[in-house]
Amino acid sequence: MNTIKDKLADLNQLVVSGNLLEAFEKYYHDDVQMQENANAPTVGKAANRLREQEFIGNIAEFRSATVHGLATDNNISFVIWHYDYTHKEWGVKNYTQVSVQHWQDGKIIKEHFYYGS
């Protein structure tokens, strides 16, 4: 699994099967920056791990995560996701999100999530 396309396929399968933290540990760089829409990015793997754990801990019901498209070009990839879950604080969430990943040293160094409110 040497290409970004191969790694992205594995990462997406882990997410679809509900293994978000395993995907995070396997494919995210120690210096990763993750950003939601126009919010300030969260910097570093430790800070992003806490953010992911908090998110997962607040999922009351996970119904689905499906990939609707993806592409890779050099060290950039993007995935069009559709998510359907219930969050303890935000309620029912059913939306489409585009995730843009920048890769370095075989891992995601920067990821930006774009979605409607």
pLDDT in tens, 80-102: 999 999 999 999 999 999 999 99
**pLDDT of res. 59:** 95
The CATH number linked to 100 is 3.10.450.50
Which range of residues forms the domain containing residue 37?
Answer: 4-115
Per-residue confidence (pLDDT) for residue 2, from 0 to 100: 84
What confidence score (pLDDT) does residue 117 get?
63
Between strands 76-87 and 91-104, the pairing is antiparallel
Count: domains in the chain: 1
Mean pLDDT, range 73-78, rounded to an integer: 95
pTM of this prediction exceeds 0.85: yes
- pLDDT tens digits, 1-37: 689 999 999 999 999 998 999 999 999 999 999 999 9
CB atoms within 10 A of CB 15: 20
